[in-house]
Chain A
Amino acid sequence: GNSVTQMEGPVTLSEEAFLTINCTYTATGYPSLFWYVQYPGEGLQLLLKATKADDKGSNKGFEATYRKETTSFHLEKGSVQVSDSAVYFCALRGTGGYQKVTFGTGTKLQVIP
């Protein structure tokens, strides 16, 4: 079945540091890939997505590129802010009509001033 593996946290960075959170997946065909973010005390929010190979999803300075050859969808940001502190979840949705979303275990990011 489908699965998502993402790097374990917590990740602690200083403000303005470069961020990478690794995510790899296992799925048949060409799934859609997502990054969700959960800020403290809030619900899950879609951060960005990519629906086909080589697509780049981007939002709020975050980027992730759908790499079919390495089955990866790593999240990056060039300069993190304290307000980026949250838990980040990599997720995928399979192809063909209805498909449930499968999530990774989440990576907690803490950005310190």
Chain B
Amino acid sequence: GAGVSQTPSNKVTEKGKYVELRCDPISGHTALYWYRQSLGQGPEFLIYFQGTGAADDSGLPNDRFFAVRPEGSVSTLKIQRTERGDSAVYLCASSQGGGNTEAFFGQGTRLTVV
């Protein structure tokens, strides 16, 4: 597609459930980032992939959060045993490389844990 695509756009889940959020980056982009944006805050870094490997996962808040990118394209962010505090907009971005190449953002997935 022309831009970064994230699905679903909205997800409501019950506390304790497992969720998966999907990101389709721009074709050919090797770098992929996940961010989390809470209400009234700026995006907070979660994890960065270069190709298939997680080059930096220092932003993942705890071991309930995990992300994969098995073929170096689509990425899935997985959250186990969801908590109400996980409610936020999860943003994905991709770029042609690291360094100073521009990152393009998707519209995000709004996760609500009830």
Interface, chain A (partner B; CB < 8 A): 4, 32, 36, 42-46, 49, 51, 89, 91, 93, 97-106
Contacts and interface: CB of A to CB of B under 8 A. Distances in A.
A99 B98 contact: yes
A66 B33 CA distance: 25
B42 A103 contact: yes
**Majority DSSP secondary structure for residues of A touching B:** strand
A98 B98 contact: yes
A79 to B, nearest CB: 27
Contact of B100 (A43, A44, A93, A102): A93
Interface stretch (B10-18, B75-83, B104-112): B104-112
Given A32-B100, A97-B99, A43 B91 contact: yes
A43 B105 contact: yes
A37 to B, nearest CB: 11
Contacts, number: 57
A78 B24 CA distance: 38
Interface residues of B, number: 28
Interface of B: 3-4, 31, 33, 35, 40-45, 48, 50, 55-56, 59, 91, 93, 98-100, 102-108
A43 B108 contact: yes
Given A51-B100, A89-B43, A100-B45, A44 B105 contact: yes
Given A43-B4, A44-B105, A103-B42, 13 more contacts: A4-B42, A32-B100, A36-B105, A42-B107, A43-B91, A43-B108, A89-B43, A98-B31, A98-B56, A98-B98, A100-B56, A101-B45, A106-B42
Contacts of B102: 46, 49
Find the residue from A46, A97, A101, A104 having the highest chain B CB count within 10 A.
A101
A97 B98 CA distance: 6
Find the residue from B35, B56, B100 having the highest chain A CB count within 10 A.
B100
Nearest to A9: B40
Contacts of B59: 100
A98 B106 contact: no
